[in-house]
Amino acid sequence: MFIDRARIQVEAGNGGRGCVSFRREKFVPRGGPDGGDGGKGGDIYLAATSSQNTLIDFQYRRHFRSGKGHHGEGGNRTGKSGKDLTIPVPLGTIVTDVQTGDVLADLDQDGTTVLVARGGKGGKGNSHFATPIAQAPEFAQEGEEGETRMLDLELKLIADVGLLGFPNAGKSTLLSKISAARPKIGSYPFTTLQPALGTVEMQDHTTFVVADLPGLIEGASHGHGLGLQFLRHIERNRILLHLIDVSAGNEEAPIRRYQILRKELSEYGKGLSRMPQILVASKMDQADPASLRDLRRYATARGLTMLQISALTGEGISELLETIREALAKQKHERERL
């Protein structure tokens, strides 16, 4: 199950209590306070990992605690610090404090960690409070309480390539053809109800990640269909592939479908319409000649490069992958020049 939102509570450990103690040693006529400090409470961190791609674990466990600091002891012995807790979350997780609404972190790099709850300081033992007047203090500090926070976690998938298209455009079939991913595939609309990721490895051993995203319908930017649940996962993609079904029997013309996709990206905003995009005519093994001709003319008139593929027969797949590889390499080169 793909889960991309979760709310958790984190409770950092309390600091240990300071100790009230006095030296009692043979042949030491004048003992004094020797109470040690309490140990610090454990901190709580979130750490991004590429080994997870869903927040489903947080459906079953929502409350997290780190270790408490141990109390101080006599002989000026400081209590042991509480054990820190590091919670792994998927790469691309945005962490927000529920109470303040502040975004604490955007964990978009593998291995990145963020401190989300600080453990309490340990209390001072009575040895700290001795003065020339009060040489035998019979009190010590309590440890501080650790921070407690309610956090919202929101996952936005990080992929090099996002597959866009109406339901049944062939996105899942394409992903299963070019990677080891095995998304559910059916001959009915809305087969894909949750995003799926697959890694493509080229002959030169370069790799890129492709996301099969649930099918768009008109009005998705306003919440229709899978709506915003789907569109926000496009925000982190580097290239978008518009898969346009050109097979016979479609009620809506391929040009109209492409225009709807572009319109939904534009109305959603957040720069989606300005992302590099590739137009791909899919299901060429069942192509309607008139639809294909119209879409090709439309693309030519607007200076768009149009590729033609059939995920079922493999037609055009090699050219498509090479086009993607070159586009990603160009982006990387441009970033390195900045």
What stretch(es) of the chain map to CATH 3.40.50.300? 161-337
Any idea which fold 161-337 has?
Rossmann fold (3.40.50)
What stretch(es) of the chain map to CATH 2.70.210.12? 5-155
C-alpha–C-alpha distance, residues 198 and 201, integer Å: 10
Return the sign of the alpha-carbon dihedral for residues 299, 320, 281, 277: negative
CB 11 within 8 A of CB 146: yes
pTM for this model (two decimals):
0.72
Each residue of 155-201: pLDDT tens digit? 887 788 988 888 777 888 888 888 876 655 545 444 445 677 788 88
C-alpha–C-alpha distance, residues 73 and 122, integer Å: 12
Q: Residue 69 in 3-state DSSP?
A: coil
CB 323 within 8 A of CB 311: no
pLDDT at 5: 85
C-alpha–C-alpha distance, residues 24 and 31, integer Å: 6
Render each residue's pLDDT in the chain as its tens digit; 338 residues. Answer: 557 789 999 999 999 999 999 887 776 666 789 999 999 999 999 999 988 878 888 988 999 999 999 999 998 999 999 999 999 998 889 999 999 999 999 998 889 999 999 999 999 999 899 888 888 898 999 999 999 999 999 888 778 898 888 877 788 888 888 887 665 554 544 444 567 778 888 888 888 888 887 755 554 444 444 444 567 677 788 899 999 999 877 767 899 989 988 888 888 777 778 888 899 999 999 988 999 999 999 999 998 889 999 988 999 999 999 999 988 888 887 777 76
pLDDT at 338: 64
* Structural class in CATH, domain 5-155: mainly beta
